[in-house]
Amino acid sequence: MQIPAARDPVSALRETFGADILHVKEFRGETTIVVSVWRLPEALDFLRISAGLVYNMLSDVSAVDYYPDDYGAAFDGGARDFRPQRFAVSYHILSLLYNRRLRVKAFADGEDPRLPTATMVWPAADWLEREIADMMGIVFEGHPDQRRLLMPEDWFGHPHRRDYPLGKETVAFSFNEAEIRKHKPFARD
Amino acid sequence: MAVAERYQSIEEQRRWEGSFDQLRGLVSERAITGETMLLNMGPHHPSTHGVLRLLLELDGEQIITCLPDIGFLHTGIEKSIEDKSYEKALPLTDRMDYLSPMSNNMVYASAVEKLLALDVPERAQIIRVICLELARCASHLVWLGTHAIDMGAMSVLLYAFRERERILGMFEMLSGQRMMSSYIRPGGVWRDVPADFLPTIKQFLADFPAKVDDYEALLTRNPIWKDRAQGVGVIEPDIALAHGMTGPALRGSGVNWDLRKAQPYSGYETYEFNVPLGEHGDVYDRYLIRIQEFRESMKILNQAVARLERVQGPYRSENRKYCPPLRSELGQSMEAVIHHFKLWTYGYDAPDDEIYCAIESPRGEIGCYIHGTGANKPRRVHFKTPSFMHISALPVVSKGYLLADMVAIIGSVDIVLGDCDR
């Protein structure tokens, strides 16, 4: 069987999606493509099935929170990166055929973060997106199972957000042990 | 005591019995009417390899639906790393996949190196390869022992742990710790190998192939083992790819994908070894692949040990902005004292940008995504772990098999719950 020659993913996407490819970045040999939210599943599906691209495996989905001020107008795509909104979700996709990786990124609003799900493109996105919904509080619209994954179902808040405080415990010494025990929530309560 | 007497009222009884409402849509309607049975497996079932809870819907003994419930071992490692400088976060990564901490160290260290564009000296790369392959053997040995015990072959565990003990002894020799080694650091390794390490590993390499033959003598042609393993838990290659399965679980289905060959790191391209592949994608093929990986690891280790004797030089990068100076320099050099102080108090700054780095762990592709802040702490670190992907694929893999086969399937995809929950 003849394997079609590899195509450049950036120019192929630009050709098909035009102005919906918002930004392209190269860092340490990794290409990042920022896509408009509403065409994200379409772009991922295009990358998966098109001849010459065939990104047939989803390696990872990871989210990042640019809180408090590392996003907005100052990050317009110049030297300081492109970050229009608070949350970003990156799909790391891998082509086994052409042995290369690509990062497709989409941004979500800080007030009501919503993204379309990619579970129809890759079943592997199911749990990876559920983890992000749980830990970052980003809603994946159309996801088949929207329960929490890692945290208990009655948990309040989303721990991986940057405004979620990192809990710390005071070290108990003999001088403060009684005080700590008084306030610590033990299982007996 | 009668059931009715145990509760104060009907309402209380209902509360403890729970309701099916939250399961609606996840299990079939037949489970709600009571036609099929819902069975909890875990979180303390010995064959779930940690604390994994599976909610199984059974028709007789056949599995109709499988709902994995994870998170019991969630320790917030990714969140904790956000509060630590890059080097100080390394010991946390040991605790993820506690059967092969060296792979976790390696993926985190190489991700940081990629973010900083830091060099790694050749000797350090060779030591890393030795550590990674030893870790692969140690991890596969635990897998072999527990997998065999799950399927009723009791004695293999003792033999497997006997050899694993020797590998852990070597890790202790290198790092001072048997399991939570934190030995592979950004820029190289923590220290050079001690003088008695080389004779020890040579002795191990001389003994180990015969031991692998012993395991095979116990299992490979064992008719009971074949009956339990052949034709069970078949994973089609396209299903494996779609669900992001990697490592022996993917290669068992015949997909030739090994990151050590495809996207080599740490000088793997210079070693000669084969990638064992399966044909049928069943439990037995995945078993054969891991057994063959022992032999392939031996090949790599033999080459690496020979190379380690030849190649001298630094075991960690000489870039003093990122790697601490030698202890011996601290007495003579003011610069060294400054670097030492700066690195152990503040750490180093990394660019405000993102990278993804993946290596082949014993279980599959383990990936690390780091987004820096421009200062000494990361904005976000995310680990994509093979166990997580494999457990998410369990419902598809186990559908239609018998309950007793479920134990074999869980064992054969080789999951570690610390790796899954992080």
B72 part of a folded domain: no
B184 part of a folded domain: yes
For residue B316, report the phi and psi dihedrals to the nearest 5 degrees: -150, 155
Q: Which residue has the higher pLDDT, B49 or A112?
A: A112
B50 part of a folded domain: no
Q: How far is A175 from chain B (nearest CA, A)?
A: 28
Section B148-175 average pLDDT = 90
- Domain region containing B338: 77-421
C-beta atoms of A150 and B71 within 8 A: yes
Nearest to A28 among B117, B241, B388 (CB): B117
Chain B residue with CA closest to A93: the answer is B244
Residues of B within 8 A of A154 (CB-CB) are: none
pLDDT exceeds 50 at position B389:
yes
Provide the domain count of chain B: 1
B6 part of a folded domain: no
d(CA B306, CA B325): 28
d(CA A162, CA A143): 24
Convert the pLDDT of each residue in B168-227 to its tens digit: 999 999 998 888 888 999 988 998 899 899 999 999 999 999 999 999 888 888 898 888
CATH number for the domain spanning B174: value is 1.10.645.10
Section A60-70 average pLDDT = 87
C-beta atoms of A145 and B26 within 8 A: yes
B1 band by pLDDT with thresholds 50, 70 and 90: very low
B7 band by pLDDT with thresholds 50, 70 and 90: low
C-beta atoms of B384 and A62 within 8 A: yes
B356 band by pLDDT with thresholds 50, 70 and 90: very high
3-state per-residue secondary structure call for B291-346: HHHHHHHHHHHHHHHHHHHHCCCCCECCCCCCCCCCHHHHHCCHHHHHHHHHHHHC
ipTM for this prediction: 0.87
Convert the pLDDT of each residue in B23-47 to its tens digit: 777 888 777 777 888 888 878 777 6
B305 band by pLDDT with thresholds 50, 70 and 90: very high
Convert the pLDDT of each residue in B261-304 to its tens digit: 899 998 899 999 999 998 888 899 999 999 999 999 999 999 99
Which domains, from first to last, does chain A contain? 9-158 (3.30.460.80)
B329 part of a folded domain: yes
Beta-carbon contacts below 8 Å between A and B: 106
Q: Which residue has the higher pLDDT, B47 or A25?
A: A25
- The CA–CA distances, whole Å, from A16 to A13, A107, A118, B269 equal 5, 20, 19, 37
Strands B380-384 and B364-371: antiparallel
8 Å CB contact between B146 and B49: yes
